[in-house]
Amino acid sequence: MTEVQLKSALDTLKTTGVRITPQRHAILEYLIETMSHPTADEIYKALEGKFPNMSVATVYNNLRVFRESGLVKELTYGDSASRFDFVTNKHYHIICEGCGKIVDFHYPGLDEVEHFAAHVTGFKINSHRMEIYGTCPTCSEQATKVQ
């Protein structure tokens, strides 16, 4: 499945006139393969061995290009660094307050919220974002061991 997603994403970039460099290809592939919603620094650290001349600025610039072409969403939660999510389908995020891990989940019933909000307010709804905060199983287990 990731090969299909990568080809589709590369085709999207080509149609918008973006040149596909080896760094762009690698950053995009990393975003598709990882489900960890990485920061730009994490992407840089994961790829620096493969691309020793690549800078953090290169990663940020490419993420901006991907965001502008609709392939990537920038996630900002509080004061922490932005995280990047390859856009596959509508989904929500649950965030661990202990370690910061972000996990995707899909719940189609929440689309009704947009319809209801539009009906009640008269707004034309463009999108919505929902975040759920809690403690992941790993952090819960560690907390139990400490007690």
pLDDT truncated to tens, each residue of the chain (147 aa)? Answer: 478 878 888 888 888 888 888 999 999 999 988 878 899 999 999 999 999 999 999 999 999 999 988 888 888 876 667 888 887 677 788 888 888 888 888 777 777 888 899 999 999 998 887 888 999 999 999 888 877
Q: How far apart are CA 122 and CA 12, in angstroms?
A: 34
Do β-strands 131-134 and 83-86 pair in parallel, antiparallel, or remain unpaired? unpaired
Neighbours of 35 (CB within 10 A): 12
Does this chain's domain 1-88 share its CATH topology with 89-147? no
Q: How far apart are CA 73 and CA 37, in angstroms?
A: 10
Domain borders along the chain are 1-88, 89-147
**CATH 1.10.10.10 for domain 1-88:** yes
pTM above 0.75, yes or no: no
Per-residue confidence (pLDDT) for residue 88, from 0 to 100: 67
Which architecture characterizes domain 89-147 according to CATH?
Answer: 2-Layer Sandwich (3.30)
